[in-house]
Structure 1
Amino acid sequence: MSYTVNGRELETDKEGYLLEADYDDDVVPVIAAAENIMLTENHWKVVRYLRDEYREHGHTPNFRNMLKGLADVLPGCDSKSLYDLFPTGPAKQGAKVAGLPQPLGKGGY
């Protein structure tokens, strides 16, 4: 499987995660469409948060830490609202839509 973005072919693993992080914003709508997600501003806030975490730590946070970390970015954010954004799992599906490699273990650290 792969995604084509602006004429570039991006390689993925068997589950559709990019093998290498890609921070081009044009990647996000392509992967979101493949995941049947209609992007909103809140999706973009999560994407930016996950990308920042990946850049800083080399991996994305697990769901619990993600929920804590998003408190400043998405005030009033709770687990239900994150699952509304990323129904198959905010930590994993969020990372996939953000154009990041598959999270470690159960969603990172």
Structure 2
Amino acid sequence: MALADLERDGHGYLVDLNDWNEDIAREFAEEEGVNLTEDSFKLIAFLREEYVNNNANQPNERNMVKGLKDDWEGKLTTKELYTLFPKGPAKQAGKIAGLPETKRKGGY
């Protein structure tokens, strides 16, 4: 099934996170103007794991860095996350990961 066939909310996020797969992620990334890499998929997998298996947790950037640092080639920083997802790792990566829009405010 293609992204165009799936139900989305008013901001373009998937309504049902179970509709997601890596092909859908690639379509989202194209829409967002993002080039997905192996590191992008590490972050996407981390966000999905946190959401599905940790009570719908949507970590902020600092917690993303903490959660991914052991699985990352080289030193992971928040700046690197923004290089992968320039519109914000929480919102943009979460959208590409098929998660609901995070309601958290930025800055903490």
> How high is the TM-score relative to the length of structure 1?
0.83
Q: What's the counterpart of residue 35 of structure 2? A: 38
1 CA distance for matches of 2:70 and 2:12? 29
Moved over 3 A (4+): none
Indicate the residue corresponding to 1:27 in structure 2.
24
Per residue, is there more strand in 1 or in 2?
1
Aligned: 1:101 with 2:100: yes
Q: Distance in 1 between matches of 2:71 and 2:47?
A: 11
Contact 1:59–1:104 (CA<8 Å) still a contact in 2? no
1:92, CA displacement in angstroms? 1.0
Structure 1 residue 73 displacement after superposition: 2.2
Q: Which amino acid aligns with 2:68?
A: L
Q: 1 or 2, which has the higher helix percentage? A: 2
Q: Residues 71-101 of structure 1: CA distance to partner in whole angstroms, max 9, x if unpaired?
A: 1222411011110000010111110011111
In structure 1, the partner of 2:61 is: 63
| One-letter amino acid of the counterpart of residue 6, structure 2 | L
Kindly provide the amino acid, as one letter, of the partner of residue 80 in structure 2. Answer: S
Q: What is the root-mean-square deviation in Å for CA atoms of aligned residues?
A: 1.9
Partner residue in 2 for 1:52: 49
Shift of 1:70: 1.4
Q: How big is the shift at 1:14?
A: 1.9
Q: How far is 1:59 from its partner?
A: 3.0
Q: Percent identity?
A: 43
TM-score relative to the length of structure 2: 0.84
Alignment-derived partner of residue 71 in structure 2: 73
* Equivalent residue in structure 2 for 1:16, among 12, 19, 44: 12
**Unmatched segments (≥5 aa) in structure 2:** none
1: distance between equivalents of 2:65 and 2:91?
Answer: 13
Aligned residues: 103
